[in-house]
Structure 1
């Protein structure tokens, strides 16, 4: 709200078409969990720890919403079973969306290319 200089209600209305702020936050958390599961650390974190690090405390709920978003269970990502290629495109989509939206604003102090 501060960065874009909009009211809370305007911010919520702006993201209503995308499912709302809560959905965007949940999707970001799931994206983080997905990237965490892809890392091949010497001692990978448990599923419960990945859920907790992602801000999702319930492991059963985590598995359900993870599968809803990516079409694959978290354990299948960890083991590498059945990773759909289109999943990779979803990880950057929110970042691209925000970059595109932010580029449309003219922030004070922002360098512009306009004459």
Structure 2
């Protein structure tokens, strides 16, 4: 199809369509996902259908209950990763604290004047 756009773009009577610069888009000069609402489905609907299908596959693969059943599904295990900042984060946090403090002092001086 790209080759056809390229070949048609070489014809003088179709020069106004500028097919060659848009050959990689198969001659379509709009946005790649532009669609008519009546002709096609929305991307949101496609994403939701894909999500539902993947969830159903996962439930079947791992023998999990369906979404309507009264249960709590745990998908991960929690573990303690630590508390506080890493040394690098502590330096950045201190610099931010100092900047905020300075900005507040400057603002207070300006309002006092």
TM-score greater than 0.5 by the shorter chain: no
* TM-score (normalizing by structure 2): 0.24
Max radius of gyration: which structure? 2
Name which structure has the greater RCO, CA cutoff 8 Å, separation 6+: 1
